[in-house]
Amino acid sequence: MSARKGKQPVKRIALMTSGGDAPGMNAAIRAVVRRAIHHGSEVVGVRRGYLGLIEGEFEPLPATAVSGIINRGGTILLTARCPEFKTEEGQGDAVAQLRQHQIDGVIVVGGDGSLHGAHELWQKWQVPTVGIPGSIDNDLAGTDFSIGFDTAVNTALDAIDKIRDTAVSHDRIFVVEVMGRDVGFIALEVGLAGGAEAILVPEIPFETTRIGSTIKRGRRRGKTSYIIVVAEGAARGIAVAADIEAITGAETRATVLGHLQRGGAPTAADRVLATRLGAAAVDAMVEGRFGVMVGMQANQVVVFPLETIWTQRKTIDTSVYELAHVLAA
């Protein structure tokens, strides 16, 4: 039972952000609240994702509560990771809270895990849910982009441009580790935009000995500085730097960008994406489309079953990876 049309009117919508925060989540919150008011519905915020759902952290969200947040990173509703929600007991407590607060439906903004949770609420407990993709990782199938990806890429790119100044000035090799627990979307985008000499992603096997040999050949030709972008899911930047230094004998440094990439003001692209998807999620809910997620394909809003996320896995474009490799020669 999924993506089925519901019968009951949705008057009181609970809204939460869950999992890793992503720049643009606040823009989505603003759009959900104001679009719901436009439809004659009201929005109740749930603080700290599924944890707050279980513990009953609800707060009314009138139009004024979302003023002045479209430009802010993080999430005003706060977020959390909540292992307890994966259990039958945790979900039962959450559903009891939703009934007590007379909630008709739940909109969840989050990544793969959070949207699995939304799917379970609908499938197992018949709680009407709609998901909005919010994750810097951009690994959710069904949507070209997730909220936060563009900002994270631009933040990482800014850092890489600065690191290149030092790499060039000191004839050094730099290994820059970017986020991406299981996927290389950030690494690939940033590597291509930053002109990296090598990009390491979890999806494609690599050998540091081969990269080291290429660098040695390049240095003999007179190329003195290199940037290697590595997704955290592929390898640890520090380990790659140690290997490359041992093979090449050239000074090699590692920089781990870490949570720098998750914060900060959302880019225009993320604000627009979050605003359009936030409004679309409310539209889907008032139309009685539950167990679904909203996404963007070819700049058009789409609505599809939540299970698409795991039935159609999203993978990096290997032709883009190959292009980056060719251009780095």
Residues forming the active site: 137
For tokens 């914060």, what's the residue? Answer: 263
How far is residue 58's CA from residue 53's CA, in Å, rounded to a whole number?
A: 8
x-marked contacts with ligand ADP along 51-80 as a string, rule CB under 6 A: ------------------------------
Name the token pair of 315.
């993978």
Residues 133-172 that bind ligand ADP (CB under 6 A): 135
Of 107 and 147, which has the nearer Cβ to ligand F6P?
147
Q: Which residues bind ligand F6P (CB under 6 A)?
A: 20, 111, 135-137, 179-181, 232, 262
Candidates 58, 85, 174, 304; binder of ligand ADP (CB under 6 A) is: 85
* Neighbouring-strand partners of residue 253: 174
Write out the H or E segment, with its range, that includes residue 94. helix 88-100
Name the token pair of 21.
């925060």
- The CA angle 312-317-321, to the nearest 5 degrees, is 150
Of 13 and 22, which has the nearer Cβ to ligand ADP?
22
Q: Does 114 bind ligand ADP (CB under 6 A)?
A: yes
How far is residue 245's CA from residue 147's CA, in Å, rounded to a whole number?
A: 37
Closest distance between ligand ADP and the C-beta of residue 66, in Å? 22
How far is residue 58's CA from residue 52's CA, in Å, rounded to a whole number?
A: 7
Interacting partner of 116 out of ligand F6P, ligand ADP, none (Cβ under 5 to 8 A depending on kind): ligand ADP
Interacting partner of 86 out of ligand ADP, ligand F6P, none (Cβ under 5 to 8 A depending on kind): ligand ADP
- What's the sign of the alpha-carbon dihedral 203, 83, 120, 8? negative
Q: Does 20 bind ligand ADP (CB under 6 A)?
A: yes
Residues that bind ligand ADP (CB under 6 A): 18-20, 50, 81-83, 85-86, 110-114, 116-117, 120, 135
